[in-house]
């Protein structure tokens, strides 16, 4: 069935922090993108080893760029993004777009985080707080070329600061991921899943091949990956001039703050 936009997409995005445009990529485009992603996987592993999980930006590598251009110009997708956000939001810039991949050998998961706040050392948290609800900032994309349930989220967390239960689960900064030690692949898989479920109210975000998830990266989220499940998911942003300017300034400020000895502020100090 062809993709059909509805008001539910808008409501889900604003209330849950994410929305999924189901089967919005046509099969022919999925095929083209899978073909170029297979090459991207080889390049990524030759450069970063068997456990590498992304190649980014795609425009900086010897890849056929036409499928990415077709993705960026897909009329239904451009229209859907404009309806949920604004016509000023754009996606598919090959100088930013990446491909998320499965690890080749061992299961792995990221730490739970909210983008920028929890993974940019030296970030001025006041600037992040001020932009928390700004629709021109912090809009991220995962577009699956194979079925993908790697991303876990806490629905609705983009609308607020951390709850007490979340602050108690991760009281320190930087947030730590699980400790794998010398565990087997099967043990690591179990540890990762337990870590995913340790966050209150966390759920996996299920995408089928051809689905496009638009989400607020201020949402609590993380990734959980296993080598036996092929992954090629386009990782992108719904960009605006405001976010480009904000991110450049935030990175400059963070760099200076690191030089001044400020590593990572804890957003929950003295909140509870």
Closest CA to 139 of 269, 52, 31, 18: 18
Torsion sign (Cα): 146, 70, 223, 42: positive
Report strand pairing: 98-101 vs 232-237.
antiparallel
Specify whether domain 10-259 bears CATH 2.40.40.20: no
- Residue spans per domain, the chain: 10-259
pLDDT band at 9 (very low <50, low <70, confident <90, very high): very high
The share of the chain scoring above pLDDT 70, in percent, equals 100
Q: Contact 196/202 with Cβ under 8 angstroms?
A: yes
Q: How far is CA 14 from the centre of its chain?
A: 17
Q: Contact 124/254 with Cβ under 8 angstroms?
A: yes
Q: Which residues contact 166 (CB under 8 A, 6 or more apart)?
A: 154, 157, 199, 200, 220
Question: Is the predicted pLDDT of residue 68 greater than 80, yes or no?
Answer: yes
Query: In this structure, what token pair is assigned to residue 6?
Result: 């509805």
Dist CA 188 CA 261 (whole Å): 35
Question: Is the predicted pLDDT of residue 253 greater than 80, yes or no?
Answer: yes
Looking at every residue in the chain, the average pLDDT score rounds to 98
Q: What is the structure's pLDDT at 145?
A: 99
**pLDDT tens digit string along 115-147?**
999 999 999 999 999 999 999 999 999 999 999
Q: Contact 214/21 with Cβ under 8 angstroms?
A: yes
Q: What is the structure's pLDDT at 56?
A: 98
**pLDDT tens digit string along 145-191?**
999 999 999 999 999 999 999 999 999 999 999 999 999 999 999 99
Q: CA neighbours within 13 Å on the CB side: how many for 82?
A: 10
Q: Which residues contact 70 (CB under 8 A, 6 or more apart)?
A: 29, 32
Dist CA 144 CA 203 (whole Å): 18
Q: Contact 165/199 with Cβ under 8 angstroms?
A: no
**pLDDT tens digit string along 15-51?**
999 999 999 999 999 999 999 999 999 999 999 999 9
Query: In this structure, what token pair is assigned to residue 60?
Result: 């900086």
Beta bridge partners, 153, equal 203, 221
Q: Contact 122/257 with Cβ under 8 angstroms?
A: yes
**Average pLDDT in the 193-218 region?**
99
Dist CA 238 CA 154 (whole Å): 20
Beta bridge partners, 203, equal 153
Q: What is the structure's pLDDT at 2?
A: 83
Q: What is the structure's pLDDT at 17?
A: 99
Q: What is the structure's pLDDT at 193?
A: 98
């Amino acid at each position: 069935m062809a993709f059909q936009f509805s008001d539910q997409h808008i409501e889900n995005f604003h209330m849950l922090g994410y929305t999924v445009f189901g089967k919005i990529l046509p099969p022919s485009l999925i095929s083209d993108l899978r073909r170029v992603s297979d090459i991207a996987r080889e390049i990524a592993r030759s450069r970063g080893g068997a456990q590498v999980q992304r190649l980014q930006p795609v425009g900086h590598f010897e890849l056929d760029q036409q499928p990415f251009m077709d993705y960026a110009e897909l009329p239904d997708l451009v229209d859907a993004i404009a309806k949920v956000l604004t016509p000023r939001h754009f996606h598919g810039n090959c100088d930013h777009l990446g491909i998320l991949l499965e690890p080749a050998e061992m299961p792995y998961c990221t730490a739970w985080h909210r983008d920028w706040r929890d993974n940019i050392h030296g970030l001025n948290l006041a600037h992040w707080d001020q932009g928390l609800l700004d629709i021109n900032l912090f809009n991220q994309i995962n577009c699956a070329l194979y079925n993908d349930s790697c991303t876990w989220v806490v629905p609705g967390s983009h609308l607020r600061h951390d709850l007490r239960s979340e602050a108690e689960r991760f009281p320190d900064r930087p947030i730590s991921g699980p400790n794998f030690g010398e565990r087997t692949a099967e043990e690591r898989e179990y540890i990762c899943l337990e870590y995913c479920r340790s966050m209150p109210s966390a759920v996996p975000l299920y995408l089928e091949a051809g689905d496009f998830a638009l989400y607020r990266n201020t949402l609590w989220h993380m990734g959980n990956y296993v080598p036996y499940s092929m992954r090629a998911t386009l990782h992108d942003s719904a960009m605006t001039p405001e976010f480009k300017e904000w991110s450049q300034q935030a990175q400059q400020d963070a760099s200076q703050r690191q030089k001044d000895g400020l590593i990572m502020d804890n957003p929950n100090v003295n909140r509870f």
